[in-house]
């Protein structure tokens, strides 16, 4: 489903060029749960941002469901992100002036769902994440774990093809982290494709495949047995 060929990303600061991704060939199939690991600066988040079309590579290509993303306009990339992807960020990335329900309903409304159905779908997603009683709370009224569950609900409410998660448990305590990972496992069981960047081996082991990165390259891809 996702295929990268010789994917490169470098950043320029004046005359200094830093190559963060140094030609990555990678494939993720439908329904896979992939954990990307590596030490800080290995390029794992940058790799995730390229695949999720939040950033543009400086070389190589990305194909998603056969679409070459290199030729897409910003508008097409935006539509792709809206309809095909879901995002879970390390710091939850919720909009502070929207309630949990509104945060989750927003992408659905942007997809032109009628308000009633968007809110119903959003409520169902939040109830599925155990937040049925917190629908009308603002992010500031929720704990970190609850906010991350709202973030996951927003990411999956519109049933994306791929769920991208960038260190989703980094800011959470153990109990909350385990709760988040249980949600991910549940989604994976129902066929959701998940690509997750994490530092934590304990949670990486819950994925079907662990991709190890170092110095802008993939150094290993290991399938988990469990």
Partner 1 sequence: MPLNIRIGFFLAFRALRRASLWTTGLIIGVMVLTFLNLVVVSGILVGLLQGAVDAVRTQYTSDVIISSLSDKKYIENSPNLISLIDTLPQVSVYTARYREAGVLEANYKTRKETDKPNTASAVLVGINPVSEQAVTGIAGSIVEGEFLSPGDYDKVVVGGYLLKQYFPVETPGFTTLENVRIGTKIRMTVGSVVREVTVKGILKSKVDEVSMRAYMVDSQFRSLIGRNDGNVDEIALKLSADATPESVRDALLARGVGERAKVQTYDDAQPKFLKDIIATFNMLGTAFSSIGLVVASITIFIVVFINAITRRKFIGILKGIGITGRAIEISYIFQSVFYALVGSGLGLALVYGFLVPFVAAHPIDFPFSDGILVAPLDSTFFRVGLLVFSTLIAGYIPARMIIRKNTLDSILGRN
Spell out the residues 6+ positions from residue 110 whose beta carbon is closer than 8 angstroms to its own: 82
- In the list 10, 58, 83, 137, the residue contacting partner 1 (rule: CB under 8 A) is 83
Nearest alpha carbon to residue 187 among 100, 103, 88: 88
Q: Tell me the C-alpha distance between 211 and 161, whole Å.
A: 20
Nearer to partner 1, 94 or 210 (CB): 94
| Residue given tokens 């448990």 in the structure block | 169
Site string for partner 1, 110-129 (x = CB under 8 A): xxx-----------------
Q: What's the CA angle centered on 81, arms 120 and 116, to 5 degrees?
A: 15
DSSP 57: -
54 lines the binding site for partner 1 (CB under 8 A): yes
- In the list 5, 22, 58, 109, the residue contacting partner 1 (rule: CB under 8 A) is 109
DSSP 87: E
Two structure tokens written together for 20: 């963060």
- In the list 106, 120, 135, 170, the residue contacting partner 1 (rule: CB under 8 A) is 106
Q: Which stretch binds partner 1 (CB under 8 A): 36-44, 109-117, 193-201, 215-223?
A: 109-117
For the CB of residue 205, give the shortest distance to partner 1 in the complex, in Å.
28
168 lines the binding site for partner 1 (CB under 8 A): no
């Amino acid at each position: 489903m996702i295929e990268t060929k010789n994917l490169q990303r470098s950043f320029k600061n004046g005359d200094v060029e830093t190559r963060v991704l140094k030609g990555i060939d990678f494939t993720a199939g439908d329904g896979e749960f992939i954990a990307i690991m590596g030490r800080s600066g290995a390029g794992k988040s940058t790799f995730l941002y390229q695949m999720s079309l939040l950033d543009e590579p400086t070389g190589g290509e990305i194909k998603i469901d056969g679409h070459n993303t290199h030729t897409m306009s910003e508008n097409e990339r935006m539509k792709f992100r809206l309809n095909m992807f879901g995002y879970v960020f390390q710091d939850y990335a919720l909009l502070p002036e929207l309630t949990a329900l509104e945060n989750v309903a927003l992408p659905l409304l942007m997809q032109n769902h009628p308000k009633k159905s968007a809110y119903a779908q959003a409520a169902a997603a939040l109830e599925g994440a155990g937040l049925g009683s917190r629908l009308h709370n603002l992010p500031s009224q929720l704990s970190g774990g609850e906010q991350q569950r709202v973030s996951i609900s927003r990411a999956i409410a519109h049933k994306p093809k791929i769920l991208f998660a960038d260190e989703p448990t980094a800011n959470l305590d153990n109990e909350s982290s385990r709760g988040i990972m249980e949600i991910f496992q549940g989604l994976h069981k129902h066929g959701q494709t998940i690509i997750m960047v994490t530092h934590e081996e304990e949670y990486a082991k819950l994925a079907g495949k662990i991709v190890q990165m170092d110095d802008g390259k993939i150094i290993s891809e290991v399938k988990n047995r469990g």
